[in-house]
Structure 1
Amino acid sequence: MSSTIYPPVIPEYDRLSDQDFGRIAELIGEHAGIKLPPAKRLMVEGRLRKRVRGLGHQSLADYCRFLFDGQGLASELVHVIDAVTTNKTDFFREPAHFVSLEEKIIPALLERHPGPEPQLKLWSAACSNGAEVYTIAMVMAEIAACHRHLRFSVLGTDISTEMLEHAARAIYPVAMVEPVPAALRKRYLMHGRAPSRRSEVRIVPELRHAVRFARLNLMDARYTIDRDVDVIFLRNVLIYFERATQEAVVSRLVGHLRPGGFLVLGHSESMIGTNLNLRQVAPAVFQNL
């Protein structure tokens, strides 16, 4: 006779009260621009418990007292954001954008960079674990192989310090890189030799040297980023923001594009850029006029 396995019962003191969830939701909304409706409470509780245990607190209620009634918020804010923010990304996600990058965006940019050694700057503005950054770098390396003097750099920024550390390591499970075309996997991925590493791959040094990572909060009033960027990717992030925040973020990003530069949004966000001085050149791809 088989026995039914029930999920563990979480004691009431280790749940977020209405007040504490409200305070965390307000905190995340103010500092990360992300909406946390009541339906997200269980998700928030689950993600915060690991941090709570790591600090030695007895419960979520104890942790919230430390945050809001003690002196913990100054040191803990970045960790709360790390725990709560969603970091969903894949290699070659929405692949049509990378076709546009190769066939439309880069040719148009090279016409505007007639010098003997064009230098292109690309920015992934919510890079998560770096999969998008390295996808961009792979595509750019393939293009550069056909344009001997072309140079490029890719910047990845994110609000999550944990994700940035992951991105800088450039190590991924083998299953995660399946969307990468076979020829590119062969050129740009290294397989681990140690038995414990055989289920992982690492991005080759040549690509790692072409990218860099930095922390940036899209909610900041100003971004300490160059204002002559050629291509900015910000995909599937704006959907978590209120409409006014969406427009403010896109407006700030466009301020960092050089004339003729391109902004790439997620397909579900394709209408967000239409109120700005941008020309749509492909689905969710806009050129700065």
Structure 2
Amino acid sequence: MDHVAPSGGFQAEKQFEFRQADFDRVRRMIYRRAGISLGEHKREMVYSRLARRLRSLSQHSFSTYLDSLEHADSAPEWEEFVNALTTNLTAFFRESHHFPILADFVRTRQAPISVWCCAASTGEEPYSIAITLHESLGARASQATVLATDIDTQVLQKAERAVYTADRVDKMSPARLQRFFLKGRGQNAGMVRVRPEVADLVSFAPLNLLAPSWDVRGPFDVIFCRNVMIYFDKPTQAAILARFAPLLKPGGLLFAGHSENFTYISQSFRLRGQTVYECVSH
């Protein structure tokens, strides 16, 4: 789950007034709700994303919109608010060095193998994991499971469809593409679908890592939490890592993003390879 802001400054005129107080309020609200720390440089992104919500709801000001959220803690609009401020940057086999490590690791583990991908986005990462399980485990892959969660409910709906434009897989080898994807024809030309034997390994569910409880059933052999923690402050990172540890089997692995370092945050994990950590708290 990467959160990225477009570059560029403010336009000369805007449909809605967006005061510093409004921006500061949004930052506090998204931090409380999702643990995301928005920097000052994200102001333009916040305006652009939430202005769409104001227009959709026929609201006339940010203060009125934010008031309506804060006065109704369980309002459905909270989901739209969070979705609007989380942009999901993902790809099949992104940070590709992790997948041979995963393949070698799961061959040494006893069935059934279980993996939790906690930032599933539009599905490319959990399906990459499922493909790796098929390639490394062969017939044993049918006993494996991949739980794929994300805070953004809209991307999960796309992920469950398992259908992608062909350009999303154009860097994949022809052999892997033929083995694990179906090519669209007719009105589906230019699209590919993940084959059922891969998709069947993956189950999707919404989950907020900041929620007081997680509806997940461990323990897992592997947790993928890549390019998520960089948007949390250090205390939040430490709290999440403390909750990960008991959900991993002895010797289980945690895969992090390329710019994330947990060495100085938690004593429950030791660095095993390039942004790959082994759980040592058991």
Task: State the TM bucket, normalised to the shorter chain.
Answer: 0.7 to 0.9
- Asked if residue 132 in structure 1 is aligned to residue 132 in structure 2, the reply is no
Q: What CA distance in whole angstroms lies between the structure 2 residues aligned with 1:95 and 1:188?
A: 17
Q: What CA distance in whole angstroms lies between the structure 1 residues aligned with 2:278 and 2:265?
A: 11
Alignment of 1:49-68 (within 5 A): 49-68=51-70
5+ residue gaps, structure 2:
1-9
Match of 2:80?
A: 79
User: Which has more helix, going by share of residues?
Assistant: 1
Instruction: Choose the corresponding residue for 1:256, options 237, 247, 258.
Output: 247
Cα deviation, residue 36, structure 1: 1.2
Q: What CA distance in whole angstroms lies between the structure 2 residues aligned with 1:229 and 1:179?
A: 30
Q: Deviations over 1:223-251 (max 9, x none)?
A: 22123111100011111111111111112
Question: Given the two structures, how large is their TM-score scaled by the length of structure 1?
Answer: 0.86
- Asked if residue 181 in structure 1 is aligned to residue 183 in structure 2, the reply is no
Asked if structure 2 preserves the Cα contact closer than 8 Å seen for 1:129 and 1:167, the reply is: yes
Match of 1:3?
A: none
Deviation beyond 6 Å, 4+ runs, structure 1: none
AA of the residue aligned to 2:65? Y
How has the CA–CA distance of structure 1 residues 200 and 52 changed in structure 2, closer, same or farther, with 3 Å as cutoff? Answer: farther
How has the CA–CA distance of structure 1 residues 148 and 30 changed in structure 2, closer, same or farther, with 3 Å as cutoff? Answer: closer
- Asked if residue 222 in structure 1 is aligned to residue 223 in structure 2, the reply is no
Measured on the aligned residues, the alpha-carbon RMSD in Å equals 2.2
Instruction: Choose the corresponding residue for 2:154, options 151, 158, 162.
Output: 162
Q: What CA distance in whole angstroms lies between the structure 2 residues aligned with 1:153 and 1:123?
A: 8
Cα deviation, residue 150, structure 1: 6.0
Q: What CA distance in whole angstroms lies between the structure 2 residues aligned with 1:149 and 1:126?
A: 22
5+ residue gaps, structure 1:
1-6
Alignment of 1:184-199 (within 5 A): 184-195=176-187, 197-199=188-190
Asked if structure 1 preserves the Cα contact closer than 8 Å seen for 2:254 and 2:276, the reply is: yes
How has the CA–CA distance of structure 1 residues 23 and 47 changed in structure 2, closer, same or farther, with 3 Å as cutoff? Answer: same
- Asked if residue 246 in structure 1 is aligned to residue 237 in structure 2, the reply is yes
Between 1:266-275 and 1:89-98, the stretch displaced more is: 266-275
Q: What CA distance in whole angstroms lies between the structure 1 residues aligned with 2:41 and 2:255?
A: 30
Asked if structure 2 preserves the Cα contact closer than 8 Å seen for 1:126 and 1:158, the reply is: yes
Cα deviation, residue 148, structure 1: 4.7
SS in 2 for 1:268: coil
Match of 1:40?
A: 42
